[in-house]
Amino acid sequence: MEGPFIKKRKIAFAGIKDQGNANRIKEYLNKKTGMIAVDVESQKGFVGVEYDLRKINFETIERSIEELGFNLSQEITEKFKRGMAKFTEQNELDNLTAVPSSCCEDPKEISHNANRHG
């Protein structure tokens, strides 16, 4: 599945080394509306997710992992990646609801108004 609203991300975490915990995360996230795929690479310390941004966002997925009691990586690069993901997704969602407007006024109206004042 592809498209501008389908997102694929890897989330680094700490402390999930056994398959039982990996399965818990996978089952929990797969129940969320908007999730397309979840792949937990417990030995590498990543959760791979694919989801529809119109139905669920990165921040909700991140919180869901934390709700299960797992810790996200606190490495500065991983924190930066997560922050950028949330920032760009919020911009995309804001753009969906934005009312289109022109960047400038009609030049005819500008010259007409200028003549009336001067």
Structural domain boundaries enclosing 94: 6-98
Is 15 a member of any domain? yes
CB 24 within 8 A of CB 40: no
Does the pTM exceed 0.85?
A: no
Domain count, the chain: 1
Q: Can you tell me the distance from the alpha carbon of 115 to that of 118, in angstroms, rounded to the nearest whole number?
A: 5
Q: Is the model's pLDDT at 102 over the cut of 80? A: no
Is 75 a member of any domain? yes
- Let me know if 1 is exposed, middle or buried by CB neighbors in 10 A (0-12, 13-18, 19+): exposed
Q: Is the model's pLDDT at 15 over the cut of 90? A: no
Is 94 a member of any domain? yes
pLDDT in tens, 45-77: 899 999 999 999 999 999 999 999 889 999 999
Is 114 a member of any domain? no
Q: Tokens standing for 58?
A: 């990165």
**DSSP code, position 98:** P
Is 46 a member of any domain? yes
Q: Tokens standing for 88?
A: 């760009």
CATH of the domain at 32: 3.30.70.100
